[in-house]
Chains A and B, each alone.
Chain A
Amino acid sequence: MSNREMMRMSRRALLGAAAFTGAGIILKGCANTGNTSSSAESSETAASPTAGGKLIATTLPGSWEQFNRSIVVPQFSSTTGAEAALVPLVSADQVAKLQASPNSPPFDVVSLDSGVFEGAPKEELFQKLPVEKLKHYSELADRFQQPDTWGPLIGVQAVGIAYNPKVVTTPPDSWEALWDEKYKGRVALMSMKNNHTIGFMLKVAEMNGGGVGNLDPAFAAIKQLSPNLAGVVANAGAMITLFQQGEVDIAPHDLNSVKLLQSKGVDIDWVMPKEGGFALTPMMSIVKNPTASVDLIAAYIDAAISPEVQTQMTETNFVLPTNKNVALPESVTQKLGRNLDEIFAKLEFPDWATINQKRTEWVEEFDKTVQA
């Protein structure tokens, strides 16, 4: 009985293996024809980069997607005559997807947080920016122009304290406000996998005698925060639901998200604490082995840093420009400071290269500290 079954099993296995190899070959055949056609397409676009063509770009979801769709893509299309399709993905998912298929990347250009970008295996997944192909590259402020650049920073998001003005009547002036007894159970933090919280922890560490080399003071402070902590939320989307439904009143968040919600009638406002806030910087980079031509991709990135687009980004989205030819509107100067030098002096730009070496350790330590 069992012997016969064994025979059957092994025959099945053999059959399966044979069929498996066969199908693999067939699929490979199909795939190859697919590849040749797509490479033909790309060489076509390379021949005449300004006459049509198509590229696939990632975008951060939500308001960034709206911005890219309504401002960046039309600008790109009007200068090149080409189309751009957008894929909304959070930064980490963009890198994971590229890493899973480095030979046939699902998109041509990524737009993601530079903190996450710095932690990715850059050499394997991305290629350096052909700076000479970008008309507007020289217009970037000096601090955003690096000789070995992988791609330009698109904007600067300022992170400070978001609060509900209906409940928190006097705007908090310090990060310390989160520990105030009167906000018992009213504070929210994003989990440490979000760069918002990494920046926040860094700030807290600095206030307590630590820094990027020593985050222990921040972990000790987070332990103290637990009576005030309503929850550690998964992402920005969950955070704003809590604000909207009156579940929390105060949390670290970025100015652009807060302004967007405010414009839609949510009771939320934002202040820069006296210890200063910190900056999150989305960037764009070209992937390795893209389907679209590098010229076309460069034109897309060029559109994103052009003064027209950057002006829109600053005025409607409250993201600070990296193009130095963009004037700050009054709504921004009121909130942050008279000019970019003054604002950037108040914003810390986290040292992502160092942070990424410790990221795993920190995330695990954070999870242990906040465990319920």
Chain B
Amino acid sequence: MSKIQLSHIDKFYGENHVLRDVNLTIEDGDFMTLLGPSGCGKTTTLRVISGLEKAQHGTMTIDDRMVIDADKAFFEAPSKRGLNLVFQSYALWPHMTVFENVAFGLKIKKMKKEEIEETVMRALRTMRIEEYRGRYPNELSGGQQQRVAIARAIASSPKLLLLDEPLSNLDARLRIDMRAELKRLHKETGTTIIYVTHDQVEALTMSTKIALFKEGEISQIDTPLGLYTNPIDLQAADFIGNPRINFIEAKGFYDGTGLKVKSAFGEYVFAKEFMKLDEEIPENREFDCVLGLRPEMVDIYTEDPHHKNTVPARVYANQPAGSETLVTLTVGDTEFLAIQVGLVEYDMNQNVFVVLHPGRMNVYNKETGRLIKYAKTKHKAGTDD
């Protein structure tokens, strides 16, 4: 059991306001990822949770136990918070063997020798590095060092495991292996994990929940699917997804019952139930808005498929990349990217038909940059949109 609750956390470095009123609840067993570009405050948040940094304002509880109460200048010592941390640099002690690195914290806890031996070996087995127990960190590869760092963090069976960009120093292949390893670790131990990364693929593939950071604030907390389908603002939409989402300029009109959106693709009408009504939406006047269109939500046909949402388009450029093909298309002056599974050949300037799914599009108020119409998370085969 460990539920972490951060309320109104503020953190300054001198004049620099690096965390602004951060509120975050992490349920027991969550794999919570703090995602955002560098300098957005995600690592600082992790360090505040760990106790290595002190917030100037706000509170934090672990299982309703107060660990930070900044107003009373109360900060529980890191070691008493029942957590452990894996550093981006691994921070393995170079003068200790793998075994000694993992055993260090247990020794401080004054565990018995046999018990230490057993606990350390269990952690090393979990990370599949038993055979390196006698080696020094500089005798290990990057991936092996990473495993030692994780073994050291899980040896004390923390209720909460913090990971700070643990995969950023690994090469692309090892990173995929380690992602699988971490996901398995989460399932097996059931430990609550807080994971910091700037890599959206890591966030989307591993987390149960993602907190998206922007300039020291949390802009959105959602499941990976929720975040991907409905980024809360244009910046978030732009950040999540590779290749990037297409933004289509459009004009909106909201009459209180539904939202009409006119763009190069034609006119769509969205029912009120899909709208995010707590946002600023001008009523009974035309306003600038932006359509968010995921590249994989574009189907390309060489013959007219006679689908209700068909638009004629022209191929601008074609980039086959083996498992997928990126196609740049134009409709009138509007240019957008589509992604097709497998190798598909199109000629430059070839005329094609694209089927779009308005239900799967997001609509943003251009002025505020905020989401005003949700995309459906699933679309049923055979439906109109």
Q: Do these two chains interact?
A: no
B residues within 8 Å of A by Cβ? none
